[in-house]
Amino acid sequence: MAELRRSRVPIAGAELNGGWQEFKVMLEKGSFDIYQPDATMGGGIGDAKRVLDACRRRGLGFTPHTWTNGLGFLVNLHVYAAGPRDHPLEYPYEPPGWVPEVRDGLLAEPIRVDANGTVAVPTVPGLGIELDEDELLRYGEKYFEITSQGLAMKTIRDKGLFTALRLARKRKR
């Protein structure tokens, strides 16, 4: 990516990266002109804001990527609102199937785009997330449960064996 960027091809990306450490390497290598972290996948709002700040210091573009559901859209909309908004916010809208009523199915009200093509940033607590309790009961299900063994394996995969062992020793103390 960095090589392509040096050849004057504007590059945007990083939407599926997993957190600040990955973004930091990309920033150090000069991989993108526009960074697009997704706060729901890439380390949360804190890491996305950290990428935003690093982009500002380096004169790089920033706009979150949000191609999940209404919950992810609202999370990334708030990250977007914290920045300079020099680039459009990408969000899921792909009729006939991927429309607000489907994308935002667990929200009390779908997120609407106004006639100017903008979305109002909610000002109510909780990032403006208000769940439709009936839909949550109907469609919501626990799809992930972690055991202590599962957590250990995840830590090894994400942080490495030595870090996992160090954390286990620390926990025993």
Nearest Cα neighbor of 74 from 121, 21, 5, 22 is: 121
According to DSSP, the residues that pair with 132 across neighbouring strands are none
Tell me what pLDDT residue 167 has.
Answer: 83
Supply the pTM of this predicted model: 0.76
Quick check: 147 pLDDT over 70?
yes
Range of weakest confidence among 28-32, 113-117, 123-127: 113-117
Tell me what pLDDT residue 45 has.
Answer: 96
| pLDDT tens digits, 58-117 | 999 999 998 889 999 999 999 999 999 999 998 888 888 889 999 999 999 999 888 888
Tell me what pLDDT residue 158 has.
Answer: 85
- Segment 140-157 shows an average pLDDT of 78
Higher per-residue confidence, 142 vs 87: 87
| pLDDT tens digits, 37-53 | 999 988 899 999 999 99
For the chain, which residues make up each domain, given as ranges? Answer: 2-141, 142-173
Class of domain 2-141: alpha beta
Quick check: 136 pLDDT over 90?
no
Report for 26-30, 114-118, 148-152: range of highest mean pLDDT: 26-30
Higher per-residue confidence, 130 vs 95: 130
